[in-house]
C-alpha cells in the first residue's frame, strides 16, 4: 500500500493495477484514489466502469484501443469480474501489448496468481492485496476519526466498540458515523452510547449463541436463534454461520493444544488478533471431541434439510438442543 500511495502522490502511475483482498473498504478507497489520479483532474468522458461476471472482454479491448479525448489516458475500471479465476485469457493476450494510453484498474475480492491474466497484468503494473487490519491499526484509525471530530473515548469503550462492530472497516466507518451523529453535542463517546446506537452484527449473535451452548444455557441459545429469525436471517444461513463458528473453534482448539499463542492462532486461521483472543477463550469452554461432534452435527443438519427429511427451522432447533446437551468443559 505504501508504494501505491507514493505512486498516486507522485503521479508516476503504472498502466495496470490489481486491487484485491478481503478488506473491501480499503479496496474501494484506493480504487477512488487511483481513479482520480489517473484522470488527473479530467472529466468522466475518458472513464469506463464495468462490474460483474458478464463483462464483454471484446468491448473492453475495443475501448482500450480508442484514443482518449483531450487527455493523456483512457481509464478502464473492472470490478468483481472473476476474470482472475477464469475467462481472462483474451484480456491477458491484449495486455501483452496494450495501447499506451489505456490504463486498467481491476478490483477483485480474490485472484488466482497462476492465471495468464494475473501474470500479464502484473508484468505491466502492480497487484496490491488488502487484508483485514490488525487491532492496533484499527484503533489508530478510529481514534484519528474521533479526534478530527473533537471526540474522546476510553480504551475500554474502544474495545467494546470494536467487539460490537468486528474488524470490517466498512462496518466500522458506518457505525462511527451513526455514533458521531448520536454524540453530536458531547465530546466523550461512552459504552452506553455504543450500546444504544451501534448495531450488533449477526456474527456477534452467533458467537453469543455458541457461548450459551457451551454453558448449557439452551433457552438463551434458542432465544438468540429466534431473534435472528425475527430479523429475517434465513435458517440455512444461520446453520452455515454456526457450522463455520464450530469449525473455527476446532481449529483454534487444535492450535492452542499445540502451544500456539492467540496472535499466532489468528494468523493461522485468518482472524484479527483481538478476535482470535475471543475465540481462544470460547474454545476453552469445549472439549476438542465436543467441537468435532458439533461440526459433524452441523453437516448432518444440513443434509437433513437438503434431503427433505426435516424443515430448515426445526433442523437448527434440534442442532441447538443437541449441542447444548453435549457441551462440556475443555
Verify that 41 and 72 share a domain, yes or no: yes
> Across all residues in the chain, what is the average pLDDT?
91
Verify that 172 and 238 share a domain, yes or no: no
Residue 44 is predicted with a pLDDT of: 84
Verify that 91 and 139 share a domain, yes or no: no
Domain boundary (162, 178, 197) is at 197
Verify that 114 and 162 share a domain, yes or no: no
Query: Would you state the cell numbers that stand for residue 49, as one nine-digit string?
Result: 466502469
- Taking the C-alpha atoms of residue 189 and residue 192, their distance in angstroms, rounded to an integer, is 8
Verify that 23 and 86 share a domain, yes or no: yes
Rounded to 5°, the CA angle 167-173-178 comes to: 120
Domain boundary (182, 197, 212) is at 197
Q: Which distant-in-sequence residues (6+ apart) come within 8 Å of 55 by Cβ?
A: 78, 81, 83
Residue 327 is predicted with a pLDDT of: 60
Q: For the chain, what is the domain count?
A: 3
Verify that 212 and 179 share a domain, yes or no: no
Contact (CB, 8 A) for 85 and 112: yes
Query: 5 in the Ramachandran plot: left (φ > 0), alpha (ψ -120 to 50) or beta?
Result: alpha
Consecutive H or E run containing 51:
strand 47-51
In 3D space, the residue among 229, 213, 237, 219 whose CA is nearest the CA of residue 302 turns out to be 237
Distance (Å) of CA 195 to CA 51, 145, 157, 190 = 37, 20, 10, 9
Verify that 235 and 153 share a domain, yes or no: no
In 3D space, the residue among 85, 75, 64, 67 whose CA is nearest the CA of residue 20 turns out to be 85
Verify that 184 and 222 share a domain, yes or no: no
Consecutive H or E run containing 188:
strand 188-189
Consecutive H or E run containing 247:
helix 235-257
- Taking the C-alpha atoms of residue 97 and residue 272, their distance in angstroms, rounded to an integer, is 41
CATH of the domain at 125: 3.40.50.300
Mean pLDDT confidence for 223-250: 91
Mean pLDDT confidence for 218-231: 91
pLDDT over threshold 50, residue 329: no
Residue 272 is predicted with a pLDDT of: 75
pLDDT over threshold 60, residue 294: yes
At residue 188, φ and ψ (nearest 5 deg) are: -125, 130
- The fraction of the chain above a pLDDT of 70, given in percent, is 98
**pLDDT, tens digit, 9 for 90 and up, residues 61-106:** 999 999 998 889 999 999 999 999 999 999 999 999 999 999 999 9
Verify that 193 and 206 share a domain, yes or no: no
Verify that 107 and 159 share a domain, yes or no: no
Print the domain residue range for 224. 202-326
Distance (Å) of CA 149 to CA 20, 41, 187 = 31, 29, 9
Verify that 144 and 172 share a domain, yes or no: yes
Verify that 146 and 45 share a domain, yes or no: no
Q: Of 54-68, 139-153, 191-205, which gets the smallest average pLDDT?
A: 191-205
pLDDT over threshold 90, residue 262: no
Which pTM was predicted? 0.70
CATH of the domain at 213: 1.20.272.10
Domain boundary (181, 197, 213) is at 197
Residue 330 is predicted with a pLDDT of: 45
CATH of the domain at 171: 1.10.8.60
Amino acid at each position: 500500500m505504501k508504494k501505491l500511495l507514493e505512486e498516486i502522490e507522485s503521479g508516476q502511475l503504472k498502466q495496470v493495477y490489481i486491487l484485491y483482498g478481503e478488506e473491501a473498504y480499503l479496496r474501494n478507497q484506493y480504487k477512488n484514489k487511483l481513479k482520480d489520479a489517473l484522470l488527473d483532474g479530467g472529466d468522466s468522458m475518458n472513464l469506463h466502469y464495468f462490474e460483474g461476471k458478464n463483462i464483454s472482454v471484446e468491448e473492453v479491448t475495443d475501448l482500450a484501443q480508442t484514443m482518449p479525448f483531450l487527455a493523456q489516458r483512457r481509464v478502464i475500471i473492472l470490478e468483481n469480474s472473476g476474470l482472475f479465476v477464469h475467462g481472462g485469457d483474451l484480456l491477458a493476450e491484449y495486455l501483452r501489448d496494450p495501447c499506451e494510453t489505456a490504463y486498467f484498474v481491476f478490483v477483485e475480492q480474490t485472484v488466482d496468481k497462476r492465471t495468464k491474466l494475473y501474470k500479464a497484468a502484473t508484468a505491466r503494473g502492480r497487484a496490491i492485496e488488502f487484508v483485514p487490519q490488525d487491532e492496533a491499526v484499527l484503533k489508530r484509525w478510529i481514534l484519528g476519526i474521533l479526534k478530527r471530530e473533537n471526540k474522546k473515548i476510553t480504551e475500554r469503550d474502544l474495545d467494546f466498540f470494536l467487539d460490537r462492530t468486528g474488524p470490517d472497516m466498512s462496518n466500522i466507518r458506518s457505525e462511527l458515523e451513526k455514533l458521531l451523529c448520536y454524540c453530536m453535542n458531547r465530546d466523550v463517546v461512552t459504552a452506553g452510547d455504543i450500546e444504544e446506537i451501534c448495531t450488533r452484527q449477526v456474527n456477534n449473535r452467533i458467537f453469543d449463541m455458541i457461548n450459551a451452548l457451551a454453558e448449557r444455557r439452551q433457552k438463551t441459545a434458542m432465544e438468540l436463534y429466534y431473534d435472528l429469525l425475527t430479523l429475517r436471517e434465513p435458517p440455512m444461513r444461520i446453520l452455515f454461520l454456526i457450522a463455520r463458528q464450530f469449525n473455527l473453534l476446532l481449529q483454534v482448539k487444535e492450535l492452542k493444544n499445540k502451544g500456539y499463542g492467540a496472535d499466532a492462532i489468528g494468523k493461522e486461521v485468518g482472524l484479527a488478533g483481538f478476535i482470535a483472543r475471543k475465540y481462544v477463550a470460547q474454545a476453552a469452554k469445549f472439549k476438542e471431541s465436543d467441537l468435532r461432534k458439533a461440526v459433524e452435527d452441523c453437516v448432518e443438519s444440513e443434509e437433513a434439510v437438503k434431503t427433505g427429511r426435516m424443515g430448515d427451522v426445526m433442523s437448527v432447533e434440534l442442532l441447538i438442543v443437541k449441542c447444548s446437551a453435549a457441551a462440556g468443559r475443555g
